[in-house]
Structure 1
Amino acid sequence: MRKTQHIEPVSRHNGLTLVLAGLILMPLVLAVGYWLGGRAQLVVVFLFLVGMIITILGALKLREPRYSFSLSHDHLHFHHKIGGWSLHWSNIIRVDQARLQSGLDLVELPYIGIKIRDYDEFLPLMTPRLAVHLLTEQRPLLAMALRHGAISRYELQEWLVEDSRYRSAAGQDYQGLTAMLAHRMTHLRELYGYDLLIHESSLDRDAADFVTLLRGYL
């Protein structure tokens, strides 16, 4: 039996360092500005704003969940600050780095693709907030497909606002945001061969190594 592994995303790295750097820089800049007595005021204001931005960026990183994935013997879990989803390994057909056909070439994308066997085991887990997030997060994938000629501009416009009614292969009806997410998944499968695509910023290693790790569990 494989032991559970937790993946800390690279997007969360250096969050505390950035917060501390910003908190040190801002009062230091104010002290220097006071000592200068009004000279180089624009430079002081600029550096103070830089310190504030660094602090905010670090705080945003720390707001992210500590782990992006948990890999257990039975399930693959994805964690997000507004929710998460879970897939039994038996419900995953395959995983790989996503690629897109561009002319005669296959272009590797900074995404991990997951192809699902049964939507009805996945869709009921979706909260409205998470569905909205996924729909928004995946829009660049549609734009990318347009740039590479995989879809037309008309199809892009149609798919940006998905149909709010969906019937699964097993006859289960979905409505609203869940239905829109289901349609988006079918479109991603048509374009990329996968229903879910996760950006490599959620990983703790390069995409090829993470695919190897997932396949070991799968």
Structure 2
Amino acid sequence: MSALAFSGSASSGGARLLIASAVLLLGLLLYTAFLAQQFTAILAIAYIAALLGLFLGWAKLAEPKYSLVCDAEGVRYQHRSGSWCLPWSAFSYCAVPSMEGKSLAYIGFKVTNIDALLTGLPVRLAVKIMTEQRPLYLEAVRQSCGSGQCATELLREKDQYKTSVAVYEGVKAVFAQRMLRLAAATGLELMVPVNVAPEQAESWCRAINKQRLTQLQDPN
């Protein structure tokens, strides 16, 4: 099969930002050394902006070029902290999730075989995903608790999660429970952030769903 690759644009513009920030920093150093009579607050802010630009540019370059790649094995999410693979047979479809009628900046997957994901999920990546998606998770908890009085109970997470196949502990157990909480709020267990318009994300979902059907019908 021909591979599909989708870029969430998180890495785009990194080189330009890095170069522009480096030029700005060099200009500030020359100005400070030869022209500035004193180090002012405005000059300090300019230095901070240049250093922040360098950091953000480097961070963008560290992101994978493609965040989602579809190959013969399934859908792969590529992150600077690692990657996970969701086999074609382990989910029924993907879609743009929504809460309270508003589309979210994610692509979500309806997972039918959680073991296929958890088994190969790197712990470091799981921690990073949970940290980055914490606002989404808290909103999902709020959606599941209309009165606002049960949030504390819903935020309690067990350190063990059982399926018919295996028992998961620690980080993977918490990750699995959060998947279920997201599914209760959106109908989708697994989320991938995207920095594109909802229409573009929906187009990606259609392409992935079409590829899934093709792959399951004709694996070769």
TM-score (norm: length of structure 2): 0.85
Are 1:109 and 2:104 counterparts?
yes
1:28 aligned partner: 27
The alpha carbon displacement at 1:183 in A equals 1.1
Count of residue pairs brought into register by the alignment: 210
Query: 2:173 is matched by which residue type in structure 1?
Result: A
1:17-37, Cα deviation, whole Å (9 max, x unpaired): 111001100111222233434
Between 49-58 and 61-70, report the one with greater CA deviation.
Answer: 61-70
Q: Give every structure 1 segment of 4 or more consecutive aligned residues whose post-TM-superposition deviation is greater than 4 Å.
A: none
2:46 aligned partner: 47
CA distance in 2, matches of 1:22, 1:67: 24
2:124 aligned partner: 129
RMSD: 2.2
Query: 2:115 is matched by which residue type in structure 1?
Result: D
* Unaligned ranges ≥5, structure 2: 213-220
2:185 aligned partner: 191
The alpha carbon displacement at 1:115 in A equals 0.8
The 5 A counterparts of 1:117-196 are 117-145=112-140, 149-152=143-146, 153-168=148-163, 170-196=164-190
The 5 A counterparts of 1:60-139 are 60-100=59-99, 102=100, 106-139=101-134
1:117-168, Cα deviation, whole Å (9 max, x unpaired): 1112111112221221222223212332355x44254543334442111111
1:83-115, Cα deviation, whole Å (9 max, x unpaired): 111111121111111012x3xxx2222111101
2:55 aligned partner: 56
The alpha carbon displacement at 1:58 in A equals 0.3
CA distance in 2, matches of 1:81, 1:64: 5
Q: Does the Cα contact within 8 Å between 2:73 and 2:88 map onto a contact in 1?
A: yes
Q: Does the Cα contact within 8 Å between 2:98 and 2:186 map onto a contact in 1?
A: yes
Are 1:208 and 2:202 counterparts?
yes
Are 1:16 and 2:15 counterparts?
yes
SS at match of 2:157: coil
SS at match of 2:195: helix
1:165-198, Cα deviation, whole Å (9 max, x unpaired): 1111x25221111111111111111111111011
CA distance in 1, matches of 2:196, 2:71: 17
Q: Does the Cα contact within 8 Å between 1:99 and 1:192 map onto a contact in 2?
A: yes
The alpha carbon displacement at 1:82 in A equals 1.5
TM-score (norm: length of structure 1): 0.86
The structure-2 alpha-carbon separation of the partners of 1:32 and 1:181, relative to structure 1 and needing over 3 Å to count, comes to: same
The alpha carbon displacement at 1:61 in A equals 0.9
1:4 aligned partner: 3
CA distance in 1, matches of 2:84, 2:203: 22
Query: 1:60 is matched by which residue type in structure 2?
Result: A
CA distance in 2, matches of 1:176, 1:121: 18
CA distance in 2, matches of 1:126, 1:154: 33
Q: Does the Cα contact within 8 Å between 1:11 and 1:202 map onto a contact in 2?
A: no
The structure-2 alpha-carbon separation of the partners of 1:160 and 1:65, relative to structure 1 and needing over 3 Å to count, comes to: farther
